[in-house]
Amino acid sequence: MTERYAIILAAGKGTRMKSKLYKVLHPVCGKPMVEHIINRVEETAPAEIITIVGHGADKVKEQLGDRTKYALQAEQLGTGHAVLQAENFLKGKPGTTLVISGDTPLLTSETLQNLFDYHQGKNASATILTAKAEDPTGYGRIIRDHVGIVEKIVEQKDATLEEARIQEINTGTYCFDNELLFDALSKLDTDNAQGEYYLTDIIEILKSEGKNVAAYLTEDFDESLGVNDRVALAKANEIMRQRINHQHMVNGVSFIDPAATYIDDGVVIGAETVIEPGVYLKGNTVIGSDCVITTNSQIVDSTIEDGVVIKTSVVEESIVRSGADVGPYAHLRPKAEIGVNAHIGNFVEVKKATIGEGTKVGHLTYVGDATLGKDINVGCGVVFVNYDGKNKHHTTVGDHSFVGSNANLIGPVDIAANTIIAAGSTINKDVPEGAMGIARARQENKEDFAKRFPFFQE
């Protein structure tokens, strides 16, 4: 098979985004646009990937790391000039080179593979990925002769009225014979409305030399979407979200309202799980089978095992084991681990803590920097006091214990198994197994005291 190469164009500033964030780093369904591109490109197995960087080069390199080589386009002199920056890496090498823009996140690996195959099947010097647009405004037009052979690409600003009516557009993605590509790049000029070196002019150069130029028409126009402003960014998110949700439904996941469910690219969800509206699943999240995630829950970089119910809660960088339930209105902060069949109830916050199997933390409680064993009952309003103003301290509660309502456990403290903490106690000493820890003032009732207050007087 002919050797394959890829050039990702990621040097443009993206002024229309009106953003401090470099354009190709704007996220679409949880990943920067340029990361979507490199993921798809890698699936076509190129021997080398060269990313052309300019504005925000360091940030792009930080994002993509060593998955690609880099070439700097110091001056923004057009797409042809950008591709030319890869000359030191690729010039003179036989093979096929894919040129793709870093702001077209909706392109699929299937389409790129089809483009490679079509190009090689046609023995073409260049193959343009095209699409049919109902409104082609802003896109370069594909000019064909009377028998359908590609003659050239005309940019919007250079198009005649007749050319502007053509609906077949250039997506900005190409395959080239690598050796012919760099030979033609040396022949580009800036005789156009923008005064730039257009990559599209290579088509005319190759045609003038009698070379075969082909065009592969993709069936899905959405794939051609280039993100140049916030409107297009929102559209790209919408389209990709539809794709993601559709695939999850095909895999056996139920959505009450797919249009109101937001799932990042790469999230894994098991079959028979039900997702209600307003749910947002982010980052490296894995949801098991037979789960229920109710309205307005947000789960970030977390693992939710089988049979879990998350009710209108926030889960961040945590693990919820099989059969557990969380919420409503609970908050699992980073490094929370909720055990098998455990219960985390209303307005409970858990941070850097392990909750054992079958343990119940019902409501209005904070558990931080703690290890709780199995089959513990934690009453309402309990606070694990873990912070002394300078350092965090750990608390341990043993199996089968009972922590009464409104107790404060001041770490570091060790509550042994089979103990009771009396309601309203503030505990700052270890409690041995089988004991009851109680730390509160003794109640005293003053007879007839209430009669002294006007409220109780006739």
331, 363, 394, 400: which one is catalytic?
A: 363
Nearest to 67 by CA among 56, 51, 52, 82: 51
pLDDT score of 75: 87
Residue 233 lies inside a defined structural domain of this protein: no
pLDDT score of 1: 66
Residue 229 lies inside a defined structural domain of this protein: no
Alpha-carbon distance 44 to 118, whole Å?
14
Residue 451 lies inside a defined structural domain of this protein: no
pLDDT single digits (tens) 49-92: 999 999 889 999 999 999 999 999 998 889 999 999 999 999 99
* Annotated binding-site positions for UDP-N-acetyl-alpha-D-glucosamine: 9-12, 23, 73, 78-79, 101-103, 140, 155, 170, 228, 333, 351, 366, 377
Identify whether residues 199 and 293 lie together within a single domain: no
Question: What's the per-residue H, E or C state across the chain?
Answer: CCCEEEEEEECCCCHHHCCCCCHHHCEECCEEHHHHHHHHHHCCCCCEEEEEEECEHHHHHHHHHHHCEEEECCCCCCHHHHHHCCHHHHCCCCCEEEEEECCCCCCCHHHHHHHHHHHHHCCCCEEEEEEECCCCCCCCEEEECCCCCEEEEECHHHCCHHHHCCCEEEEEEEEEEHHHHHHHHCCCCCCCCCCCCCCCHHHHHHHHCCCCEEEEECCCHHHHCCCCCHHHHHHHHHHHHHHHHHHHHHCCCEECCHHHCEECCCCEECCCCEECCCCEEECCCEECCCCEECCCCEEECCEECCCCEECCCEEECCEECCCCEECCCCEECCCCEECCCCEEEECCEEEEEEECCCCEEEECCEEEEEEECCCCEECCCCEEECECCCCECCEEECCCCEECCCCEEECCEEECCCCEECCCCEECCCECCCCEECCCCCCCCCCCHHHHCHHHCC
pLDDT single digits (tens) 111-149: 999 999 999 999 999 999 999 999 998 889 999 988 888
Identify whether residues 154 and 285 lie together within a single domain: no
Identify whether residues 285 and 199 lie together within a single domain: no
Residue 372 lies inside a defined structural domain of this protein: yes
Identify whether residues 160 and 270 lie together within a single domain: no
Strand partners, 130: 170, 217
Residue 403 lies inside a defined structural domain of this protein: yes
Domain range enclosing 74:
4-224
Identify whether residues 214 and 297 lie together within a single domain: no
Q: How long a stretch of residues is the chain? A: 458
Identify whether residues 22 and 72 lie together within a single domain: yes
Q: Residues 326, 308: contact at Cβ < 8 Å?
A: yes
Q: What is the CATH number of the domain that holds 157?
A: 3.90.550.10
Residue 234 lies inside a defined structural domain of this protein: no
* Annotated binding-site positions for acetyl-CoA: 386-387, 405, 423, 440
Q: Is 363 a catalytic residue?
A: yes
Residue 409 lies inside a defined structural domain of this protein: yes
What pTM value is reported for the model?
0.91
Identify whether residues 189 and 258 lie together within a single domain: no
Low-confidence ranges of the chain (pLDDT < 50): none
Residue 358 lies inside a defined structural domain of this protein: yes
pLDDT score of 196: 83
Identify whether residues 256 and 331 lie together within a single domain: yes
One-letter amino acid of 61: K
Domain count of the fold of the chain? 2
Q: What is the CATH number of the domain that holds 259?
A: 2.160.10.10
* Annotated binding-site positions for Mg(2+): 103, 228
Identify whether residues 276 and 132 lie together within a single domain: no
pLDDT score of 138: 84
Q: Residues 245, 261: contact at Cβ < 8 Å?
A: yes
Identify whether residues 261 and 131 lie together within a single domain: no
Last residue of a domain, one of 187, 208, 224: 224
pLDDT score of 451: 77
Identify whether residues 145 and 217 lie together within a single domain: yes
Identify whether residues 271 and 172 lie together within a single domain: no
